[in-house]
Structure 1
Amino acid sequence: MAKISLPTISSGYATTTQLNNAFDAIETEFQDKVLYRDNPTGEPNVMEQDLDMNSNKLTNVAGIEVGGVDYLASMQTVYNNYVSITQNVTVSTSSPSGGSDGDIWFKVSS
């Protein structure tokens, strides 16, 4: 089924009415079924169905927010914590000879 069904416009006295009806049908489709990249102020611009990306990626995304949680910021925090923790882990074959309180030391036998 076509996304927009328009009447065939023939010559004659009803042509103007048919043309106006076709324009009304186009307007209705744009108002009710199109997601705008640059939405007019005050107009709704929401998804009403799932968007199938057909295995394509979203690129250049500033943020991903789901249920009020910014996942990109959360992942950056996890990464920063990982880096912070790994900088305080030492693996050595000898006993600790320095470091700070809270550092993690692993002594391995050779």
Structure 2
Amino acid sequence: MQTPIATTPDFIAAGFHALSDPIRINVLELLRQQELCVCDLCEALGVSQSKLSFHLKTLKEAGLVNSRHEGRWIYYSLNLPQFAFLQQYLAGFQGCQSLSSRRSCCE
């Protein structure tokens, strides 16, 4: 089941926070290829399950990954609509003037 797109400022901040760690980036790169279970992610990344669980929790809370249970395993996949929302959020800054071209009230 896909996670709904989260659009509040807290979720935007959580999304960028989740993208700020190399292990989480590596998880996302692996999930870009296919859905994977925790054991496959641990093996590919060379990290313990407890360490990976912390990072997966961060990614899930940010809405960047989905999880599903199958037997005793949890499988993770990307929640692409949340990535698209973060991309749209950043794209909204493209037309903004740079700070150096604005006049300051103190000038």
TM-score, with length taken from structure 2: 0.24
Q: Which has the higher helix share?
A: 2
TM-score, with length taken from structure 1: 0.24
Indicate the structure whose relative CO is greater, using CA pairs within 8 Å and at least 6 residues apart: 2
